[in-house]
Structure 1
């Protein structure tokens, strides 16, 4: 990979001279080729050769004349490669020069390593500083532009260097005759070579050596997102070829040692193969459209190996766990998969695992990613939806025609109801080696995350934006209604609580709007609400006109959902952190700006409303979690005390949070928990909040200290600490630079008292009952 300074300071003069030299060579060779063809070869063809001359000399003359043509082709190709490479290098260099020149005017500096920093650090600015004050989003945009420019030069460098090596070739006595009329042509030719090389390795199947699997992985990684390579490989292998290969790799009966000794290589191969096919599905060529149709058709057919016979859907779904598959293909595939399962289970009268039992032989090991061997094809499909928000949103918003071959009936199925309520997910081996429904519900959670947030569930935190649409929100309404209606849905679906808490965090702004409304069933927003519906990037109501003054969820549904999700440890932690950050951002937006006047004379109505709802929400979280701990563990047991001690550690989720583009991504716990902010840019209170040290706020319990205390005493202390942690948004506002010391002291004291009073006078909401395993059945 080229470095920033290498591109910025690249000396392209020698390259330009080389282009000129090769252009002159091309001109000379054009004349030489013409003379060779009309002179040397022309005379040889007209001559009346006799004896040995007829079989040797004439052929030699023709070959010699042809070499002039090959020399011209090779020289032209070299000139073309160098010319296009210079164009790309110059464009990248010019872009970096522009960015470096413009950075100071934006309050930034770019050093020789390409790092972007403040031109003048905020803590070093004078009181009368009125220069540019770049936000996190500005830094992210600058870094992305630098990265793109370097990548452009690096791509050109890779293609050009490989093309030149190919042109020189290994034959010292002959010109290659390879014709590249552009860098783009060379890139395509290289893709085709790589695709064929991958095909040759594919043909070895599970008889390939570990070194050959490494070569196949290297080819996939080098062309990971290259559409031409992906299509060439997919078509050369064929729609059933991938299935047969992967089923053979997972056949435990044929003596291959790859799955025994080199599981890590197969895990990498599964990832790379999946990403390659995902890229290929975005092609709309007639050949690939047929490939996609044939894959779905083969889904109902057994894929026979020596000792196994998994269905095509089972194999293909495990090759869909990674990568962004095409929207339409995913919908068609999912419809076909669900319709097939419903037929095989006689419309659900048989459990789902009966549909995917292999007829005889040992079960295929189709998944090397962890979380089961890949028997249930719905898991891989849900993971695919988790990486494609548009397809996932569409899938959970549409009905599935269970009998597409019959145009007369109207046999439809609601996929959201089916997967979240009706389907009996089969047991799979989880990462701990236990049979559990966790792999399936974990994958369902991933799919619902993408459908509600608009982001792949495992999207990197850097550069995330709030992209929720009305369609995303409508799926979220279904999630809130289902999982808030009865705690059993979450507790009987192990592995889904993490995803539910991420969805709750992503809609924490809408939940605050709901909780401000005192009526349990009203869908009308409170007038003059500090949590008013935020517009989208176009200045329009985010979820459409109908939700400008109307709520997504009524107060009762909001309390039930948040209360249920915060019964789990991860749900309590992530929702608590999200609520604190969102409360802080609202205060940044609606509260009087620091230094705008004597704090005692300012209108703090919106500030107090914001803090009140935040305090009440934290109370819902804390009471729900404590109730579940009491239900789950025996009072004064070691497990009970440790669980109580962990309830105060949610503040660590906010440490190191990445803020940009109107969202904060929590990175202190599970990465990428998206929290919407009340404004596009981060204000002082949010910055102060994120900068607070978690170790100074989280309750520290040593194990010895916990075990010596009574559970009730620990609970009281933990709730007091939770109350103190809920004060942080107010403290961050009071400590924002700009207030005098007297104003800061007044605000912190006044707001602290208000929050404590609000939390102590939470309205008498009926929180969801803690989940009782004995009553509702043991969680598996």
Structure 2
């Protein structure tokens, strides 16, 4: 910073810029609110059809997201400009005050060519302490100029970094002031320097690196700067070295390294969201390095030999946490899948031999996995990014290969999790914050899932690792499943805003439910989904009889009949598999049921839209709610979940015996009937319906039992069963 420039600095222009940005933020916030509360809300309630059901709705949703990012970026720019202006004004005032104080000491300060300055004594003879006084003034002035230079240069660097984060659109990075943005960039450079050589990293430095990544792993500027400074090759080599150096870690060291791997994974995921030139090159090079072998020696174990791993294995082992950029995952996945699908044989066969060699010592994951199969980490990354997951499985060949490969590998849970994200549109384990309508692509992937598992050899794809994922997928598609199972009157009773409301065949979806229910976790997910959907649908028709063009009694009986059919399929599947005799313990079963119920209630509790997105037809939500947010699809569904949690507690050996006998089927039928009746009674009371309660219970009793009876013949006609 030049002395004269700061001394006579007029920051009026910067003040004008701040005022302009302040007005910009206000206008963008207003636009964001309108886009979110008006444009997106209408788009989510609209009964789209054809191309509009996917393209238009998706475009509107992304546009609303851009408004939100624009507000974040504009706010960060405003904060940095305001903070910098205030700092420069202070530095200017400090400088002028220091020059005034120097004058009182008979010292004059003048600027010189090139931006420097000189201090000299302006009286003769010179006072005896003038030399020391001049040195003090020089040091003080230079300190002020250095601080002003830091304010100016770091602000410029932070603003440039923000602008470079996104090639198109805006960055969602948020900073309250210049210092926080500058600090993030400085720390990122320091941490990248520490990670340059894993062999030289001391325990104290590793702890510092871990703490800093944990603090800044979701900070876009920090993450992009860290990854860029470290470089793609160094990132891969660093992790290969860390894995080799700490192979066999136990106890506290193991826990620290697990934590570090999660923080590094999330940091790199955040970094990929950046479109800055450095990160664009980083992402491209990581993909190019996929087939390169990274070798690492461990000086502490010279006789063990070097550990070798391909770039794909190293990078995928760092994809377990965080949300990686969709475009990066698309490009990375294409190259990885090309390699994974290269071996000859049937779909999914021989892929394991490609990555796992006998007696291989490579262990890239601190925990139960070893990271040798790069598809595991990649599939986990897809499970955190629904957009990328849908893009990946839209390729039918990739879908078939990936799903079939779980027969021959240990990637069961990872593939099933990625498929769950692909068809539901939400990251695994994430409570949606807004409606997530199904696109034709998602519905087609779900159709392929049901069709594959419905095949004679499809049962082997449902394992203890995949059952819960398939069960959640079934819950998410309850409207479409109900339509497929019922057939007649479905268009006016079982409503959905899915771009493809009828993707399933009746036989496939029935066999799919049966196979998934063979797994206890899968059966539990289906039951919760069915109960919530049934309760919500009953409430919709009771609250607004005009939804169905016939008598409400008919709508109620159709819904109850399907509830009996689905519950019957699940119960017969459990009885055939004798699941009851294999319950680990009453506590395990009850805890699992509570976890499932709490998660379902969290979805419902987010709001009408979010609850409907997972389990309830959106068209019903839109039609029932209208202009009033009166609580449909919240309270009644929540009470249904509570009954499932509290009313179906496993209780000792007797309960387990019931699961495996005819009494178990009777108990399930009774439970399904009461659950459906109670949901209807709750809705009658809440909405002050004039439907007769006793007659309504009678209709539901008959309909559920009819559906239950039909489930047995339904399965006999479509599935070979041990009880047949």
Scaled by the length of structure 1, what TM-score is found?
0.65
Q: How far does residue 268 in structure 1 lie from its aligned partner after superposition?
A: 1.0
Q: How far does residue 685 in structure 1 lie from its aligned partner after superposition?
A: 7.3
Structure-1 residue corresponding to 2:540: 589
Q: How far does residue 191 in structure 1 lie from its aligned partner after superposition?
A: 1.7
DSSP 3-state at the match of 2:364:
coil
Q: How far does residue 754 in structure 1 lie from its aligned partner after superposition?
A: 3.8
Q: How far does residue 443 in structure 1 lie from its aligned partner after superposition?
A: 0.1
Instruction: Tell me how far apart the structure 1 counterparts of residues 518 and 353 of structure 2 sit (CA, whole Å).
Output: 33
Q: Is the 8 A contact 2:319 2:380 kept in 1?
A: yes
Deviations along 1:434-476, one digit per CA (max 9) or x if unpaired, are xxx3xx11000111011111111121x2635334322222211
Instruction: Tell me how far apart the structure 2 counterparts of residues 359 and 458 of structure 1 sit (CA, whole Å).
Output: 35
Structure-2 residue corresponding to 1:241: 234
Higher deviation after alignment, 376-385 or 739-748: 739-748
Q: How far does residue 37 in structure 1 lie from its aligned partner after superposition?
A: 2.2
Instruction: Tell me how far apart the structure 2 counterparts of residues 652 and 341 of structure 1 sit (CA, whole Å).
Output: 35
Q: How far does residue 735 in structure 1 lie from its aligned partner after superposition?
A: 5.3
Structure-1 residue corresponding to 2:310: 311
For the pair 1:657 / 2:601, whether they are aligned, the reply is: yes
Q: Is the 8 A contact 2:383 2:420 kept in 1?
A: yes
DSSP 3-state at the match of 2:291:
coil
Q: How far does residue 229 in structure 1 lie from its aligned partner after superposition?
A: 1.3
Deviations along 1:475-532, one digit per CA (max 9) or x if unpaired, are 11221211222353544655111111111111111111111216xxxxxxx4652113
Structure-2 residue corresponding to 1:415: 398
- Give the one of 451, 455, 461 matched to 2:422: 451
Q: Is the 8 A contact 1:487 1:771 kept in 2?
A: no
Q: How far does residue 751 in structure 1 lie from its aligned partner after superposition?
A: 3.0
Structure-2 residue corresponding to 1:396: 393
Structure-2 residue corresponding to 1:294: 285
- Give the one of 546, 557, 569 matched to 1:620: 569
> Given the superposition, is the C-alpha separation of residues 454 and 226 from structure 1 closer, same or farther in structure 2, using an over 3 Å criterion?
same
For the pair 1:67 / 2:140, whether they are aligned, the reply is: yes
Structure-2 residue corresponding to 1:530: 493
Higher deviation after alignment, 719-728 or 377-386: 719-728
DSSP 3-state at the match of 1:304:
strand
> Given the superposition, is the C-alpha separation of residues 488 and 45 from structure 1 closer, same or farther in structure 2, using an over 3 Å criterion?
farther
Q: Is the 8 A contact 2:481 2:504 kept in 1?
A: yes
Deviations along 1:147-183, one digit per CA (max 9) or x if unpaired, are xxxx98xx63xxxxxxxxxxxxxxxxxxxxxxxxxx3
For structure 1, the 5+ residue unaligned runs are 1-15, 48-52, 83-150, 157-182, 400-413, 427-436, 519-525, 535-541, 667-671, 773-780
- Give the one of 75, 81, 92 matched to 1:26: 92
Instruction: Tell me how far apart the structure 1 counterparts of residues 460 and 312 of structure 2 sit (CA, whole Å).
Output: 28
What does 1:226-625 correspond to in 2, within 5 Å? 226-251=219-244, 258=249, 261-306=252-297, 307-343=306-342, 351-357=350-356, 363-368=361-366, 370-398=367-395, 414-421=397-404, 425-426=408-409, 437=410, 440-459=411-430, 461=431, 463-486=433-456, 488-491=458-461, 493-517=463-487, 526=489, 528-534=491-497, 542-543=498-499, 547=500, 551-592=502-543, 603-625=552-574
Instruction: Tell me how far apart the structure 2 counterparts of residues 664 and 650 of structure 1 sit (CA, whole Å).
Output: 21
Instruction: Tell me how far apart the structure 2 counterparts of residues 341 and 257 of structure 1 sit (CA, whole Å).
Output: 28
Q: How far does residue 386 in structure 1 lie from its aligned partner after superposition?
A: 0.8
**Root-mean-square deviation (CA), in Å?**
4.4
Instruction: Tell me how far apart the structure 1 counterparts of residues 515 and 699 of structure 2 sit (CA, whole Å).
Output: 32
Deviations along 1:680-730, one digit per CA (max 9) or x if unpaired, are 567467513423643796345542435788953543443343433443454
Instruction: Tell me how far apart the structure 2 counterparts of residues 450 and 284 of structure 1 sit (CA, whole Å).
Output: 25
For the pair 1:736 / 2:685, whether they are aligned, the reply is: yes
Q: Is the 8 A contact 1:41 1:61 kept in 2?
A: no
Instruction: Tell me how far apart the structure 2 counterparts of residues 198 and 675 of structure 1 sit (CA, whole Å).
Output: 47
Deviations along 1:212-238, one digit per CA (max 9) or x if unpaired, are 322111111221222221122112211
Instruction: Tell me how far apart the structure 1 counterparts of residues 349 and 460 of structure 2 sit (CA, whole Å).
Output: 23
Structure-1 residue corresponding to 2:209: 216
Q: Is the 8 A contact 1:647 1:718 kept in 2?
A: no
Q: Is the 8 A contact 1:654 1:690 kept in 2?
A: no
- Give the one of 702, 712, 715 matched to 2:664: 715
Q: Is the 8 A contact 1:220 1:276 kept in 2?
A: yes
Instruction: Tell me how far apart the structure 1 counterparts of residues 130 and 344 of structure 2 sit (CA, whole Å).
Output: 77
DSSP 3-state at the match of 1:197:
helix
Q: Is the 8 A contact 1:299 1:312 kept in 2?
A: yes
Q: Is the 8 A contact 1:309 1:359 kept in 2?
A: no
Q: Is the 8 A contact 1:278 1:323 kept in 2?
A: yes
Q: Is the 8 A contact 1:567 1:770 kept in 2?
A: no
Instruction: Tell me how far apart the structure 2 counterparts of residues 704 and 483 of structure 1 sit (CA, whole Å).
Output: 32
> Given the superposition, is the C-alpha separation of residues 592 and 695 from structure 1 closer, same or farther in structure 2, using an over 3 Å criterion?
closer
> Given the superposition, is the C-alpha separation of residues 266 and 724 from structure 1 closer, same or farther in structure 2, using an over 3 Å criterion?
same
Structure-1 residue corresponding to 2:43: none
Instruction: Tell me how far apart the structure 1 counterparts of residues 227 and 569 of structure 2 sit (CA, whole Å).
Output: 52
Structure-1 residue corresponding to 2:184: 191
Instruction: Tell me how far apart the structure 2 counterparts of residues 342 and 700 of structure 1 sit (CA, whole Å).
Output: 45
Deviations along 1:643-674, one digit per CA (max 9) or x if unpaired, are 9x9799969844671314446669xxxxx976
Q: Is the 8 A contact 2:218 2:267 kept in 1?
A: yes
Instruction: Tell me how far apart the structure 2 counterparts of residues 294 and 22 of structure 1 sit (CA, whole Å).
Output: 40
DSSP 3-state at the match of 1:36:
strand
Q: How far does residue 309 in structure 1 lie from its aligned partner after superposition?
A: 0.7
Structure-2 residue corresponding to 1:37: 110
Scaled by the length of structure 2, what TM-score is found?
0.70
Instruction: Tell me how far apart the structure 1 counterparts of residues 346 and 460 of structure 2 sit (CA, whole Å).
Output: 25
Deviations along 1:595-641, one digit per CA (max 9) or x if unpaired, are x9xxxx97422122222222222112212222222xx79xxxx5489
> Given the superposition, is the C-alpha separation of residues 346 and 57 from structure 1 closer, same or farther in structure 2, using an over 3 Å criterion?
farther
Q: How far does residue 675 in structure 1 lie from its aligned partner after superposition?
A: 5.8
> Given the superposition, is the C-alpha separation of residues 712 and 292 from structure 1 closer, same or farther in structure 2, using an over 3 Å criterion?
closer
> Given the superposition, is the C-alpha separation of residues 29 and 619 from structure 1 closer, same or farther in structure 2, using an over 3 Å criterion?
same
Instruction: Tell me how far apart the structure 2 counterparts of residues 207 and 376 of structure 1 sit (CA, whole Å).
Output: 29
Instruction: Tell me how far apart the structure 1 counterparts of residues 342 and 656 of structure 2 sit (CA, whole Å).
Output: 55
Q: How far does residue 209 in structure 1 lie from its aligned partner after superposition?
A: 4.2
